[in-house]
Amino acid sequence: MPYTYEYPRPALTVDCVVFGFDDEALKLLLIQRGIDPYKGSWALPGGFVRMDETTETAAMRELEEEAGVSDIYLEQLYTFSEPNRDPRDRIVSVAHYALVKLSDHRVTAATDAEDVGWFPADDPPPLAFDHAKILSIARDRLRAKVRYQPVGFELLPTKFTLRQLQHLYEVVLGRELDKRNFRKKVHSLGILKALDEYETGVSHRAAQFFKFDRAKYRQLEKKGFNFEI
């Protein structure tokens, strides 16, 4: 125990709320804890912050280590500091939230985790610590953010149909959208590029695939927009 300080210090951890989308529902990445406390419970991936990294770096590292997930969109959410949020010790946690393309990420359990998996973000299993509260705040943030930032796209595969995009917005916002108004709005933003490719093997008219216009997408990300649909 070589680390000694004049005053007591809380331990500092990160937790990650990782959202994915599978064309049906919004999913949440959880790990099953392999150690106490809450051994066997499902929890948000996360861990201790090292002395040479920012919390964002720590969050990315933990996701890679615990779930094999890398190269994702991630940002800071909120810092949770209630003195008794962890039964062991005073632990302050900086929560982050992340968006991934589910199709690109096969998850694999690793250090400190017995298992890892995707669960419905609106109906997860009981969570360890105060993770249910963290999740709730992350859902609110995603719902708010989707209205003025094109973050929704982080959740879709590179090529996608307008139906997929609309369904994603419907799931995140929790209500149905009008097809014509949705398409009008999305096209008016000018961030989609139509591909010369269509769905195959569907028993109805094949939908066209789209991808993003990266330049315009970044531009819009910066100045924000108003998705009032």
Enumerate binding residues for DNA (CB under 7 A). Answer: 161-163, 178-181, 183-185, 198, 200-208, 226, 228-229
User: Which residue is associated with the tokens 């066997």?
Assistant: 40
Residues in the chain: 229
107 near a copy of itself, judged by CB under 8 A:
no
If DSSP states are collapsed to H, E and C, what string results for 119-172? EECCCCCCECCCHHHHHHHHHHHHHHHCCCCHHHHHHCCCCECHHHHHHHHHHH
For a copy of itself, the closer of residues 12 and 177 by Cβ is 12
* Strand, coil or helix: 7: coil
222 near a copy of itself, judged by CB under 8 A:
no
For a copy of itself, the closer of residues 10 and 40 by Cβ is 10
CA distance 153 to 157: 8
Q: Which of 64, 65, 92, 146 binds a copy of itself (CB under 8 A)?
A: 92
For DNA, the closer of residues 106 and 223 by Cβ is 223
CB of 194 to a copy of itself, least distance (A): 32
Q: Which of 22, 36, 40, 53 binds a copy of itself (CB under 8 A)?
A: 53
CA distance 30 to 24: 18
Q: Is the dihedral of CA 129, 56, 100, 66 positive or negative?
A: negative
Q: Are strands 42-43 and 26-33 parallel, antiparallel or unpaired?
A: antiparallel
5 near a copy of itself, judged by CB under 8 A:
yes
11 near a copy of itself, judged by CB under 8 A:
yes
Partner that binds at residue 48, options a copy of itself, DNA, none, CB closer than 5 to 8 Å by kind: a copy of itself
Q: List contacts with a copy of itself (CB under 8 A).
A: 1-12, 48-49, 51-56, 76, 78-79, 81-83, 90, 92, 94
